Amino acid sequence: MVTLQDRPSLGSEAYLATRLRLLRLLRELNRANTTALAGRSGMSEPVVAKFMRELESNGLVERSALDDGDGAGLAERAGSAVYHFRPAGMKSGAVLISVDTVQVAVIDADGAVVGRVEHSLGTDKRPAAVFDLIVDTLHESLAELGLSTRELLGIGIGVPGLTSFHSGVVHFAPHLPGWSDVPLGPRLSERLGALVWVDNDSHVQALAERYFGLGQDGGEFVSVQSGMGLSAAFYLDGTLYRGPRDTAGEIGHMIVQEDGRLCDCGSWGCWETIASVTWLVDEACRAEDGSFRLPDWLDIPEFSDQDYQSIWDIDPAVVRLAAHTIFQAAHQGWPRAIALVKQHGQYFGIGLANLANMLNPQRIIIWGDDIEAGQMFLETVRNSVARRAIKHPCKTCEIVFSPLGHDVALLGAGCLAIDALYGAN
């Protein structure tokens, strides 16, 4: 008997959730007929059959020609179609919101980022304007690839702010005005007719490592975002640890100096105040006479044209540009730049030593701006950790750069959908 519960309206959230549930079930079984799927899911067989036909037309499952008898009794009944999951058909939508752009792409089964489109947020960064931009950009990307949202597992969104994964609400995004308790996930799910998952940009990076990077071997790892803000994601016991309010990983605000510098968060001596690239640029610009100015060995027109009094007057994009220029100067052999990068690595290592002691991960993966600092930075970090961390856990903890390149967070956003299918949720 077909019950009402079996028949959520086409495209509704309940329909999409049921579609994913059946797909997940088939992935676990690898191969099953509609009778078995109906039995396992508690749904009626005609409804299951309808869902499977739709999944087949979207390339996510394939109908097996014949039951070859290895289905553990799952395909015995005549007339009950046998399906198998088709990993190669997996595609997920990926959206990455940054402080000044929206990037959209489709992630295929091999982790390739295809149909990538990027647009500036412009001057209006309030939620409604960004929602419209995401919807338009996603449609632009899908049109370019000749796809519809129905062919996607769903859409993952990475956000630079405090986000509740379970409700899809963005609680706070420091560089996006008006983003306070914004129901990004539910609103976009409704507008796009697709399942939508939302998480912060640091968490999604760990999922990218899990599915396509250095976490594929199933080891426990911590990924650490370097740059102006520092954060981490913990992939432990086969799953991403988010914590009860989904905010785990704010290690930039781990206090490492009792009377240290004032931090953005209102506290003092946070790790971020000495191990971010903001510190690096600030330190480079503190002249011996106490003034704040660009040193002679750095040439950054965007910086020198302005009359900055302190690091806090500088646009974040210019701070990042200055940090990358310091890294280049170190690569070119400028002694002051080398000294700064090494000091930066020493401080970065303090936080990683704490992580190694606390969590005993097999691997700590660094991503973000500091990758540009190269081996000189990485070796200094490793030495700093080796000197500070407890020897036994540290000995087995590898400290490496992410191999996934600049698109790692965008790839990770798409991995939210893949994790809904493969993860331990």
Q: Which helix (H) or strand (E) holds 118?
A: strand 113-120
Select from 61-69, 83-91, 261-269, 399-407 the region that touches Zn ion (CB under 5 A).
261-269
Shortest spacing between CB 20 and Zn ion, in angstroms: 38
3-state secondary structure of 398: strand
CA 246, chain centre distance (Å)? 14
Select from 133-141, 206-214, 266-274, 333-341 the region that touches Zn ion (CB under 5 A).
266-274
230 forms part of the interface with Zn ion (CB under 5 A): no
d(CA 274, CA 142): 42
Select from 63-71, 198-206, 249-257, 314-322 the region that touches Zn ion (CB under 5 A).
249-257
265 forms part of the interface with Zn ion (CB under 5 A): yes
Q: How many residues of this chain interact with Zn ion, rule: CB under 5 A?
A: 5
Measured from the CB atom, the residue of 154 and 229 that comes closer to Zn ion is: 229
For residue 375, give both structure tokens. Answer: 């081996």
Measured from the CB atom, the residue of 222 and 270 that comes closer to Zn ion is: 270
CA 78, chain centre distance (Å)? 45
Shortest spacing between CB 208 and Zn ion, in angstroms: 26
Measured from the CB atom, the residue of 17 and 263 that comes closer to Zn ion is: 263
Tokens 């595609």 correspond to what residue? 91
Shortest spacing between CB 279 and Zn ion, in angstroms: 13
Shortest spacing between CB 278 and Zn ion, in angstroms: 12
Instruction: Quote the DSSP letter at residue 228.
Output: S
d(CA 43, CA 27): 17
Whether residue 280 contacts residue 326, with contact meaning beta carbons closer than 8 Å, is answered with yes
242 forms part of the interface with Zn ion (CB under 5 A): no
Exposure class string for 85-116: b at 16+ Cβ within 10 A, else e? bbeebbbbbbbbbbeeebbbbbbbeebebebe
Measured from the CB atom, the residue of 160 and 215 that comes closer to Zn ion is: 160
Measured from the CB atom, the residue of 142 and 233 that comes closer to Zn ion is: 233
Measured from the CB atom, the residue of 13 and 264 that comes closer to Zn ion is: 264
270 forms part of the interface with Zn ion (CB under 5 A): yes
300 forms part of the interface with Zn ion (CB under 5 A): no
Measured from the CB atom, the residue of 109 and 255 that comes closer to Zn ion is: 255
Whether residue 7 contacts residue 47, with contact meaning beta carbons closer than 8 Å, is answered with yes
Shortest spacing between CB 229 and Zn ion, in angstroms: 9
CB atoms within 10 A of CB 379: 13
Select from 129-137, 163-171, 233-241, 269-277 the region that touches Zn ion (CB under 5 A).
269-277
Shortest spacing between CB 369 and Zn ion, in angstroms: 18
d(CA 267, CA 380): 27
For residue 189, give both structure tokens. Answer: 């799910």
Select from 11-19, 29-37, 234-242, 268-276 the region that touches Zn ion (CB under 5 A).
268-276
263 forms part of the interface with Zn ion (CB under 5 A): yes
Shortest spacing between CB 351 and Zn ion, in angstroms: 12
Select from 6-14, 198-206, 267-275, 410-418 the region that touches Zn ion (CB under 5 A).
267-275
* Biggest CA pair distance of the chain: 88
Whether residue 182 contacts residue 169, with contact meaning beta carbons closer than 8 Å, is answered with yes
Shortest spacing between CB 417 and Zn ion, in angstroms: 32
Q: Which one of residues 19, 31, 86, 253 is an interface residue with Zn ion (CB under 5 A)?
A: 253
Residue 394's identity, in one-letter code, is: C
Positions 348 through 407 that interact with Zn ion (CB under 5 A): none
d(CA 212, CA 208): 6
For residue 171, give both structure tokens. Answer: 């609680």
Exposure class string for 301-335: b at 16+ Cβ within 10 A, else e? eebeeeebeebeebeeebbbbbbbbbbebbbeebe
For residue 257, give both structure tokens. Answer: 């100096």
Shortest spacing between CB 203 and Zn ion, in angstroms: 19
Select from 50-58, 173-181, 260-268, 373-381 the region that touches Zn ion (CB under 5 A).
260-268
3-state secondary structure of 318: helix
Measured from the CB atom, the residue of 259 and 296 that comes closer to Zn ion is: 259
- Tell me which residue of 166, 99, 109 sits closest to 315, measured CA to CA: 99
Tokens 């081996």 correspond to what residue? 375
Measured from the CB atom, the residue of 268 and 308 that comes closer to Zn ion is: 268
Measured from the CB atom, the residue of 158 and 269 that comes closer to Zn ion is: 269
Torsion of the alpha carbons at 215, 208, 88 and 217, rounded to the nearest 10: 0
Shortest spacing between CB 250 and Zn ion, in angstroms: 8
Measured from the CB atom, the residue of 182 and 270 that comes closer to Zn ion is: 270
For binding to Zn ion (CB under 5 A), which residues are involved? Answer: 253, 263, 265, 267, 270
